[in-house]
Chains A and B, each alone.
Chain A
Amino acid sequence: GAGVSQSPSNKVTEKGKDVELRCDPISGHTALYWYRQSLGQGLEFLIYFQGNSAPDKSGLPSDRFSAERTGGSVSTLTIQRTQQEDSAVYLCASSLQGAITEAFFGQGTRLTVV
């Protein structure tokens, strides 16, 4: 596709359930980011994939959060045993090289934990 695609656009889940959020980056982009944005708050960095390097997981808030990037393309963010405080918009971005090049963002997945 022409841009970063995220799915689903909206997800409602029950507390304690696991969820998977998907990000399809722009083709050829080697860098991929995940961010979280709670209502009325700023963007919280979660994890960063750059090429074949080990991902920067320094922003993951707990061990319930994990992410994979398969084949250097599609990424999945998994949240296990969801809590109400996990409710937020989860944004994915990709960039050509992850350095000076601009990052392109998807429209996000709105996660609501009830």
Chain B
Amino acid sequence: DAKTTQPPSMDCAEGRAANLPCNHSTISGNEYVYWYRQIHSQGPQYIIHGLKNNETNEMASLIITEDRKSSTLILPHATLRDTAVYYCIVRVAEYGNKLVFGAGTILRVKS
């Protein structure tokens, strides 16, 4: 699987949009971009995934650049409960392919 690069930490004001970047310059054509988050003392939680089109669900939006070498996870109205470690993962969506986490970005939402 391709490697990802994320900033180690970011701050965001409560109520504002949180934009979390991820670089995956060596991504292959059949690799998807996944985002998970881990709130303190809990197991990770799936957020969203995409291949090349932008995606949106009830939690977040995922914007993938046209060349697919980077992406941004957007939390439109961050709350204090969104404070967590956010993981960007790229992986081939094939049967038998494991899920491996990197270091992630610590997002601190502040009032």
Instruction: Give the complex CA separation of A98 and B38 in angstroms.
Output: 19
User: Given A99-B93, A105-B42, A105-B44, 7 more contacts at CB 8 Å?
Assistant: A42-B85, A50-B95, A98-B98, A99-B92, A102-B49, A103-B44, A103-B46
The answer to whether B43 and A91 touch across the interface, beta carbons within 8 angstroms, is yes
Q: What is the interface size of chain A, counting residues whose CB is below 8 A from a CB of the partner?
A: 25
The interface residues of chain A lying within 8 Å CB-to-CB of B58 are none
Of A45, A93, A102, the most chain B CB neighbours within 10 A belong to A102
The interface residues of chain A lying within 8 Å CB-to-CB of B93 are 99-100
Of B36, B94, B98, the most chain A CB neighbours within 10 A belong to B98
Q: Chain B: interface residue count, which band?
A: 20 to 34
User: Which residues on B are within 8 Å of A, measured CB to CB?
Assistant: 32, 36, 38, 42-46, 49, 85, 87, 92-104
* Known contacts A91-B43, A105-B43, A105-B44, A100 near B98 by CB under 8 Å: no
Instruction: Give the complex CA separation of A24 and B32 in angstroms.
Output: 28
The interface residues of chain B lying within 8 Å CB-to-CB of A108 are 43
The residue in chain A whose Cβ has the minimal distance to the Cβ of B85 is A42
> In the complex, which residues 34-62 of chain A have their Cβ closer than 8 Å to any Cβ of chain B?
35, 42-43, 45, 48, 50-51, 53, 56
The answer to whether A99 and B42 touch across the interface, beta carbons within 8 angstroms, is no
| Binding site secondary structure of chain B | loop
User: Which residues on A are within 8 Å of B, measured CB to CB?
Assistant: 4, 33, 35, 42-43, 45, 48, 50-51, 53, 56, 91, 93, 95, 97-100, 102-108
The answer to whether B49 and A100 touch across the interface, beta carbons within 8 angstroms, is yes
Instruction: Give the complex CA separation of A104 and B32 in angstroms.
Output: 18
The answer to whether B96 and A45 touch across the interface, beta carbons within 8 angstroms, is no
The residue in chain A whose Cβ has the minimal distance to the Cβ of B47 is A102
Instruction: Give the complex CA separation of A65 and B18 in angstroms.
Output: 40
